[in-house]
Chains A and B, each alone.
Chain A
Amino acid sequence: MLIKIAKPSDLRESDVTPESVYLSRRRFMGGMAGLGAGLALSGRAKASADYSDVPNGDAPAWLQGKIDASRRRAIVPDDPEKDAIAPFGDASGYNNFYEFGTGKSDPARHADGLETQPWSVVIDGEVNNGGRFNLEDFASPSRFEERIYRLRCVEAWSMVIPWLGISLADVIKRAEPTSKARYVRFETLVDPEQMPGQRSSFSLIDWPYVEGLRLDEAMHPLTLLALGMYGRELPNQNGAPLRLVVPWKYGFKSIKSIVRISLVEEQPVNSWQRIAAEEYGFYANVNPQVDHPRWSQATERRLPNSLFNPNTIDTRMFNGYADEVAEMYAGMDLRKHF
């Protein structure tokens, strides 16, 4: 039986930005993509209608169909003025995806060649219904939702991004976890041929990139498996074709280009924790009171910013999602479990 309790993140009619306001912002956001791409797109899918400055993707038919049929603006920020969506060019041109290099523009430069079709995801570990699924079978049973989340990077910058995807909870329920399952472990693709960062002999990351969540975090309704953003499929540099988005945690938890999801008994050691356990913990909840040893986490630079206005804002506990998620950490010492 499903009992539906309204969460503060649920969509209310009053949350919806009036289209006129929204469109005026889109115009303001500046022509990254140019008018040509916008015109080419306008005859197409409804889902992409709001993002007329976003260049056309190359989604397979099934994925385009899911995007077109998605529930628009299922979750939006409380204050759409303050949390204005970042321009697509910034969200897809300023990435940390070390498989493609450590520079912020490296992923956009090097991820083009990543082959994302076909793609399969392995679900294994403590589940009754595991196996290898092709992406279409994996994602199709759920209706896509568009969710506009703040993304707070551990490097003290943030952007607001409209994701498209499915609840991780749906996927986990379908996999039927056994009673032993307590954590979820994720793995990114390993393919040095396609991923130049994995060919570096000086990389401190022990590939594959690994992330993990506690089962209740993974089952939380805010936790998203994204297949798209800005009304289209994910650009490769943003973690195509399947990535995690956990909006109350630092961005590095939101693992990209996922090939394996394992339900496990023991707490996984995530990649950053393995490199520097004193700097990056397992939980990595956004927390303005616990500094990174090398910089303060009390504030963040909301991007895009400009030279003489760093656009510094106060970082909020759990990235502003405390009402929804804080109870999961009740009684925990967040200084210790950072």
Chain B
Amino acid sequence: MAAQRKWQLWRIGVFLAALAPLALWSWQVAHNAAGPEPGRYLLLNIGLGGLWMLLLTLSLTPLTKLTRWKGFALIRRQLGLWTLAYATLHLLSYALFILGLDWAMLGSELVKRPYIVVGMLALIGLTALGATSNRWSMRRLGKRWKLLHKLSYPILGLILLHFFWGVRADLGEWFLYATAAALIMATRLPPVARRLPRLRQRLIST
């Protein structure tokens, strides 16, 4: 019982932590601390927040292998759904705050601008993953569920491409995220993945 409560608190803590940036940015907008273009401020921050969420989600498997701590696996679905939530809010911010709900403009921009198309594809992928993030789908899909959820890897690639295309003059920040993504993906290469538990043994013995 005590253990269960502990995990419950952990989950709630993660939930609040993932919510905190949204609360902070909203507070800044409400208090005129988000600059002269608050919509764009939200758009960019939420977009970057979504990338953070996906990177965190994808770090959980290697972290579990490295530490065998149960807590990481327990928040995987939650962080995955947060990724979808941030991505959805990112699109909503664009439609609402940048385009002012000009649907005709939204339609033409979605088709005309390759980086928006790429972002849209990533969001569609995330939606598919979100819709199947439940026990019923896991049972129904069986082995195919795992395969389906490997879509998160190409989605990460699409998001980085979307980000890359938006960069105008300095790739420094993008490069940091791309490096983090590359490291996280590298832990899934079989030779690296095999070594993670052994690395753990060595970390414990020292």
Contact = CB atoms under 8 A, between A and B. Distances in A.
26 contacts: A90-B36, A93-B35, A94-B35, A94-B36, A94-B37, A102-B168, A102-B170, A157-B37, A159-B36, A200-B172, A202-B170, A202-B172, A202-B174, A202-B175, A203-B172, A205-B170, A275-B169, A295-B109, A301-B37, A303-B37, A304-B37, A305-B39, A307-B42, A310-B97, A310-B98, A310-B99
Contacts of A308: 96-97
Contacts of B29: 307
A86 interface: yes
Interface string A196-221: 01001111110000000000000000
Contacts of B100: 309-310, 312
A204 B39 contact: no
A306 B96 CA distance: 11
Interface in B162-182: 165-166, 168-175
A202 B35 contact: no
Main secondary structure of the interface of A (DSSP, over half): loop
B172 A201 contact: yes
B38 A306 contact: yes
Given A307-B29, A309-B100, A310-B97, A86 B170 contact: no
List the 10 closest pairs (A to B, CB-CB), nearest first.
A304-B36, A202-B172, A90-B36, A202-B171, A303-B36, A310-B100, A102-B170, A203-B170, A94-B36, A204-B169
Contacts of B112: 291
Nearest to B34: A307
Interface in A1-55: 30
Main secondary structure of the interface of B (DSSP, over half): helix
Nearest to B41: A104
Contacts of A336: none
Interface residues of B, number: 31
Given A296-B109, A308-B96, A105 B35 contact: yes
Interface residues on A, range: 35 or more
A33 B154 CA distance: 48
B104 to A, nearest CB: 11
B37 A102 contact: no
Contacts of B173: 102
A291 B105 CA distance: 13
B168 A93 contact: no
A150 to B, nearest CB: 15
Contacts of A105: 35
Nearest to A86: B36
A204 B35 contact: no
Contact of B36 (A205, A296, A305): A305
B97 to A, nearest CB: 6
A283 interface: no
Contacts of A310: 39, 97-100
